[in-house]
Structure 1
Amino acid sequence: MRHASRGLAAPGRWGDTRRRRIGLLGGSFNPAHAGHLHVARHALRALRLDQVWLLVSPGNPLKPRAGMAPFAQRLASAEAIADGVRVIATGIEAEIGQRYTARTLRRLSRLFPRAGFVWIIGADNLWQLPRWQHWRAMAARTPLAVLPRPGWTRKALHGAAASRLRRHRRPPGALLPESPRRRHAGWALVPAREHPASATALRERATQAARRTG
């Protein structure tokens, strides 16, 4: 970790036993952008979290390798938008050797046994959630906070994952109950302004700029 935390510590490979409420925003961050920061800050407030960790994936199994920047470059872009205190960029998935969300969450639960985790996703990922490995078990164990995404929110709320999890939908403030632990962790749509930033659009603009100057 390049950011030094002040007060609340950053995630370390070997974990700790402090009681914290932590949002996990996973992704390729290819590159990280203002939209990611918008989501992290909104989740902090709406879900009453202590921190949001930007989990930079060493390699998303559902995304092609072509056009994917090196891991170190993507991690650096996430660190550039994080503050190191409430919003923290981390490469912990690479450190623990995981790429699949369900496995990452199981490992983090062992490393940080007293932390309350909530997985933060955009509406586009809610739509494609049935493609994720062991997604139903993951959703049962870990609360899911869904943030609106331009062109995806309405579609996702009528998709297969939302349909199968419909009876477990809750208000955002009820996602991290202190006790007792529910049978199903539940999920919520967190109302927020849709942010137009897109990593794909940023890459396309960078490519066009390089062509003009090349």
Structure 2
Amino acid sequence: MKRVGILGGSFNPAHAAHRHISVEAMRRLGLDEVWWLVSPQNPLKSPAGMASLAARLGSARAAARHPRIKPLAIESEMRTRFAVDTVAALQRRFPEIAFIWLMGADIVPQLHRWHRWRDFMRLLPIAVLARPRYMGGALISPAMVWARRWRQPIGSARRWTAWKLPAIIVLDIRQTALSATAIRAADPDWASRYDDGTIA
């Protein structure tokens, strides 16, 4: 069975840290591919300052630079808005693929605000990837407290397809402080290089 990690996000813009955690996840989890799901609009983020989907997808294609990292706008195609619905749709569409959700530690403190977050965590395993400054808050967040009884040992990382759900693992990887916020501040016109209207 093909093993695919899902890295969802706004990618506003995508950058080298996304690539770094994807490559590390492939190595640590034994993944065949990582799919970057470029969200049309994160329900928890304001559309203010959000570049077009085409520009964000273009930046993801430029940043991926790896044959097994696949930037996609599949949520736009499937018309799903919430991660729980996106994952369910992907599992129906690709029954031959085992999926694991990849999540930066900065996202974990918000996870309990996701639509039907417990149902989401029961759909597929989750790998939390360490990021600077965020691990402390991640480990005491409501979702992690709820899920701590199902936290998997590091030694079982490559056996994630055998885990009973819900299941979560925290991977301590080499960290990078690069962020989309800093890139936007340094280069406010970044989207103009990618915004050609191309989604497919």
Alignment TM-score, normalising by the size of structure 2: 0.89
Q: Which residue of structure 2 lines up, in the alignment, with residue 22 of structure 1?
A: 4
Q: Which structure 1 residue ranges, 4+ long, deviate > 6 Å from structure 2?
A: none
The amino acid that maps onto 1:76 is G
- Given that 1:143 and 1:176 are in contact with CA atoms closer than 8 Å, whether structure 2 keeps it comes out as no
The alpha-carbon distance between structure 1 residues 50 and 70, as it changes in their structure 2 partners (threshold 3 A), is same
1:13-92 to structure 2, matched below 5 A, reads 19-83=1-65, 85-92=67-74
**Residues 92-114 of structure 1 deviation map (CA, whole Å, 9 limit, x = unaligned):** 11111112100000000000002
**Superposition RMSD in Å:** 1.7
Write out per-residue CA displacement over residues 52-92 of structure 1, whole angstroms, 9 at most, x where no aligned residue. 00110011000000000000000000001224621111111
What is the CA–CA distance in structure 2 between the aligned matches of 1:72 and 1:106, rounded to whole Å? 24
Task: State the alpha-carbon separation in 2 of the partners of residues 73 and 98 from structure 1.
Answer: 20
Mark the runs of 5 or more structure 2 residues left unpaired by the alignment: 191-200
Determine the structure 2 residue equivalent to 1:104. 86
> How many residues of Structure 1 are paired with residues of Structure 2 in the alignment?
189
Q: Say which SS state the counterpart of residue 22 (structure 1) adopts.
A: strand
SS of 1:207's equivalent in the other structure is coil
Judge conservation of contact 2:88–2:123 (CA < 8 Å) in 1.
no
Gaps of 5+ in 1: 1-18, 210-214
Contact 2:101 2:124 in 1 (8 A): yes
User: Normalized against structure 1, the TM-score is what?
Assistant: 0.84
> Residue 124 of structure 1: SS of its match in structure 2?
coil
Aligned to 2:186: 205
Larger radius of gyration: 1
Give 1:185 deviation, angstroms.
3.3
Which structure is richer in relative contact order (CA contacts within 8 A, separation 6 or more)? 2
What aligned pairs does 1:167-178 form with structure 2 within 5 A after superposition?
Answer: 167-172=149-154, 173-174=156-157, 177-178=160-161
Identity across the alignment (%): 43
State the partner residue of 2:106.
124
